Structure 1
Amino acid sequence: MDLQLLAALVLGIATIVVIVLRTRMDAFFALLVAALVTGFVAGEPATKVIDAITTGFGNTLGSIGIVIGLGVGLGKILEVSGAADALAKAFVKALGKGREPWAMGGTGAVVSIPVFCDSGYVIMNPLARSIARRKRAGYVTLALALGCGMTLTHHLVPPTPGPLGVAGILGADLGGLVLAGLVFALLLLPVVVLYARWIGPRLEDRLLPEVREAVYGKEGEEQQGEERDPAAALGPAPEGAKPHRMSAWTAFLPLLVPLALIIANTVATAVDQNAQDAVGDEKKYDPSPLAEALSFVGNPVVALLIGLVLAVYVLLPRWTTRTQVGGWLSEAAASAGLIILITGAGGALGEVLRASGVGDEMAEAIASWSLPGVLVPFLIASLVRLAQGSGTVAMITAASVSAPLVAGLGISPLLAALACCAGSMVFSYFNDSYFWVVTRFAGLDGVAALKGWSGITTAVWLGSLPLLLVGSAVL
């Protein structure tokens, strides 16, 4: 491997670590400085480095920035209306005490099959907060289980874009990949829950103060001997107004509708494309009117806009004023600002790493090593993921490099596809935009973020290795 590119990767990562852990500057600043360091050490012209930073920042925020803003606004309305608390009560009652991490991990895995994990996490995080608020503990455990449950199916199960692309590049049977990916996700879910239960209590006292207060309330509230009113922010009802009560189904509506619309979009598009393929239509895909309509309302931005409107007009009582709603949404926007900036900066660093050729160089190097067949695509995906942050890019890069090698490696296209997908889960850290989404919502920073989120993603990556070795004997 080119030593200059290796040095660029190492120094870029070291820059983030030193700034985040040893200075007064925050992660947004660290990521931008690391992007500059990486680009310059790699020998890229200054203008190209700046172009990569702005392109990566813009592309990342173009896909997730609006979703984060809308999701945080939706979460705020769920919180102040008492809807999140009503959901938490119903959730805990249905599943029983002590099973909340399993419920969060499983819910995350189901939601993330048709929905990008970034969007799904933002939508479902208020539920984790409400359950933790009612238990007065355990938020880190629930936040990590939810986030990593989403990681499993996002990386392993079509129709998420990464696995779909891998199946196409390697010629793997899509139905077989769906089934095998679901089996892998089911077998890896216990790893998620056990790691979250182990590390969560150890990191609970490391919660950022603002997140601790948002989840549990101000210090001392739990010692007042009275249960906190979940809808206290609404203020007293006017004389003669009906008391503000809410069922769990009503509370779930602003979450259910966006998720259902996004799922409907995914299913309709897949069915429509398969129907055109079945009749041998080789022209560019032309969506049917129904698929086109669902692709609009099922876009995460439009779906969350609909969810936010439902939250404001269904969850809040009629006597809620425009000033109150505007104030809550302003608070939500303020809290979302830093998350959005950090997420965009992570995308900027990833774009610099891609533009400088670090990921491609590492992939070519690992492909030349003498390894058991299934480990070649697995390690290519792992190293590319470490180099540039995006799991989707990592698995597609690994599939592209591995495609000419599959026959010689003695493995099936399906097994190679699983290896690419599983390898891309390794050690989510500073250059992964989802790292910042999860850790900021979970309230973890610095070493605590690495132990919690980077650790749990590495645990499932390690857990997938024996499954691949077993799979090599049967697939």
Structure 2
Amino acid sequence: MFANIIILILVLLALIFSISKWRIHPFIALILSAIVLGTTLGLGGESTISVVLQGFSETLKWIAVIIILGAFIGEVLRETGGAFRISNRIVKWVGEKKLPWAMGFTGYIVSIPVFVDVAYILLQPVVESLSFKSKRPVLYLGLSLAAGLTVAHTLIPPTPGPLAVASLLGVEMGRMLIINLIVATFAMIGGILWVIFFLKNSWIDYDKKLQDIYKEEQTTTHNELPKGNWLLDIMPIIVPIVLISTGSFVTDNLSGWVGDALGFMSIPLIAVYIGAFIAVFQIAKKDKKNKVNRLVEQAITKSALVIMITGAGGALGFVIKASGIQNEIVQIFSDFPFLGAMLPFVVAAILTTATGSITVSLVGTASMLGPIIDNFPMSPEIVAAIIGCGAFCVFHVNSSFFWLLNRLHEVPPKVLYKTFTAQSLIMGLSGLIGVLILVLFGV
């Protein structure tokens, strides 16, 4: 029994080192790991390849289209300035004295269809101009925005990572969305409180440069936005979330064509398609068809990497399941409920720390634990939330977003360790508090 478990551990360690230390691409590393694991655990060569291909296709048969449609919505927001208008409106609602919360909630909303790095680059002018106007350090607002961006990217469908987790664990999407919205709120609050209490005076040399870039009489960037309706900007984001989250509950109480229609629209693929259709109305009429086609192509190009990594993670999960090794693992920790409860968090944290990728962490953890999901002392949706919390811990030099902050704001790595890395740990632990409260209330 222990021989197979040792093989699994060695393969997974090799996977982690190959991605983080040896710089092998995650797609290649995941597929090779699946093949090696299958052959060494006795599945045989042909059977292993068959399982790998099956796992790859089964994982992507519905999620790939959703990822592309979500990316398209993000491209539209970037093209039309919709993300800026959303930010502008939230800041007006909250007020400058509560800018960390405004930036956090802006990131929370914008990052649902937009990849984190792209969203931050998109909102960089807002962060810097508000930093100058409010006389706050750029990291004070930048990491507030980052808190909202990362929680949405890690926990809220239809972003790719949570969708992959839902697929690999076989969870009920509407229930998972409601749970993760609550857990994400706890994680974001923890990240923003960290900023408010510990980063008020986190000045860097780049803050001085901003004094030369902006003048006091200069209006903030969001006052120079292209004309548009912020309600229309936010509809492609809100409508799919509302449809997915309420569909499973509403359809239980409705029958006939109304129930059938709502049930159809609550399917994640259809819900996001509706969001993408709404987004099209934001695009200017002049040469609209060519613009839509160009944005679709950009979305497909930017989504390809995430889709391939997600499929490769699914292949690894199918191999683990086909080998039957999950039964041996269950036998070891079935008598230790606490270990079983914390295992998703620990595995996700190890993968994030090792690989620097939230998506790889989410997909990898769900791939490993999916085959034994029914043996955990909590619901699959709670397991998914715990995986998301672990995926925050911790971001450091092997994270692309770490270096994005370094490049955009000229933040020294030493400073980022004390600010951004510490914040990610706080967010993961804060999310766990939210999970604990939900469990105590019987969720």
Measure the CA separation in 1 of the matches of 2:236 and 2:265: 14
- Structure 1 pair 227/47, CA: closer, same or farther in 2 (3 Å)? farther
String of CA shifts for 1:132-163, please: whole Å, max 9, x gaps. Answer: 441146667634544435756889xxxx8999
Q: 2:151 aligns with which of 139, 148, 169?
A: 148
> What's the counterpart of residue 352 of structure 1?
319
Aligned pairs for 1:30-45 within 5 A: 30-45=29-44
Summarize the Cα distance change of 1:421–1:53 in structure 2 as closer, same or farther, 3 Å threshold. Answer: closer
Whole-angstrom distance in 2 between the partners of 1:310 and 1:462: 35
Which of 307, 329, 352 is the matching residue for 1:362?
A: 329
Task: Kindly report which structure 2 residues correspond to 1:6-25, keeping only aligned pairs within 5 A, or say none.
Answer: 6-23=6-23, 25=24
What is the Cα deviation at residue 346 of structure 1?
2.0
Displacement of 1:76 in angstroms is 0.9
> Residues 187 and 429 of structure 2 are in contact (CA less than 8 Å); yes or no, is this contact kept in structure 1?
no
Q: Which residue of 2 aligns with 1:290?
A: 258
Corresponding residue number in structure 1 for 2:429 = 459
Post-superposition offset of 1:6? 2.7
The 10-residue stretch of structure 1 (85-94 or 259-268) with the greater mean CA deviation from structure 2: 259-268
Shift of 1:82: 1.6
Instruction: Please say if 1:96 is aligned against 2:59.
Output: no
User: Is the aligned partner of 1:72 residue 2:71?
Assistant: yes
Give, as a single letter, the amino acid of the residue that structure 2 aligns with 1:427.
Answer: G
Which of 83, 94, 113 is the equivalent residue of 1:122?
113
Give the aligned residue type for 1:66.
V
TM-aligned CA distance change 1:194 to 1:65, over 3 Å: farther
Deviates more, 1:123-132 or 1:69-78: 123-132
Shift of 1:297: 2.4
Note the C-alpha offset of 1:21. 3.0
DSSP-derived class of the 2:112 partner:
helix
TM-score, normalisation: structure 2:
0.65
Give the residue type in structure 2 aligned to 1:135.
V
333 and 263 in structure 1: CA distance in 2 versus 1, 3 angstrom threshold:
same
Cα shift readout 1:311-367 (whole Å, capped 9, x = no counterpart): 22x212222343333223322322222222122222222222232234332222011
Question: Which residue is equivalent to 2:52?
Answer: 53
Contact 2:182–2:434, Cα closer than 8 Å, also in 1: no
1:463 Cα offset (Å) = 4.5
- Going from structure 1 to structure 2, the CA distance change for 1:400 and 1:271 (only over 3 Å counts) comes to farther
Checking the alignment, whether the CA contact within 8 Å between 1:366 and 1:376 is kept in structure 2 is yes
| Counterparts of 1:357 and 1:345, CA distance in 2 | 19
- Read off the aligned partner of 1:359 and give its amino acid letter: Q
Please give the alpha-carbon distance, in whole angstroms, between the structure 2 residues aligned to 1:200 and 1:53: 47
Q: Judge conservation of contact 2:73–2:276 (CA < 8 Å) in 1.
A: yes
Alignment of 1:81-230 (within 5 A): 81-97=80-96, 102=101, 121-122=112-113, 130-136=122-128, 142-148=145-151, 189-193=188-192
Shift in Å at residue 192 of structure 1?
4.5
- Aligned residue identity for 2:296: L
The normalised TM-score by structure 1 is: 0.61
3-state DSSP class of the match of 1:315? coil
Using the TM superposition, give the Cα deviation of residue 69 of structure 1 relative to its aligned residue in structure 2, in angstroms.
0.8
Q: What is the CA–CA distance in structure 2 between the aligned matches of 1:416 and 1:297, rounded to whole Å?
A: 25
Matched, 1:255 2:254: no
What letter is aligned with 1:148? V
Q: Which segment drifts farther, 137-146 or 356-365?
A: 137-146
Matched residues, number: 384
Aligned-pair CA distance for 1:293: 0.9
Letter of the 2:12 partner, please give it.
Answer: G
Mapped contact 2:111–2:119 kept (Cα < 8 A) = no
Structure 2 Cα separation of the partners of residues 16 and 199 of structure 1: 33
The answer on whether the counterparts of 1:391 and 1:425 sit within 8 Å (CA) in structure 2 is: no
Whole-Å separation in 1 of the counterparts to 2:312 and 2:367: 18
Q: What's the CA shift for 1:10? A: 2.8
Q: Percent identity?
A: 22
Q: Secondary structure at the match of 1:121?
A: coil
- Asked whether the equivalents of residues 148 and 192 of structure 1 are also in contact (C-alpha less than 8 Å), the reply is no
Question: What letter matches 1:319 in structure 2?
Answer: K
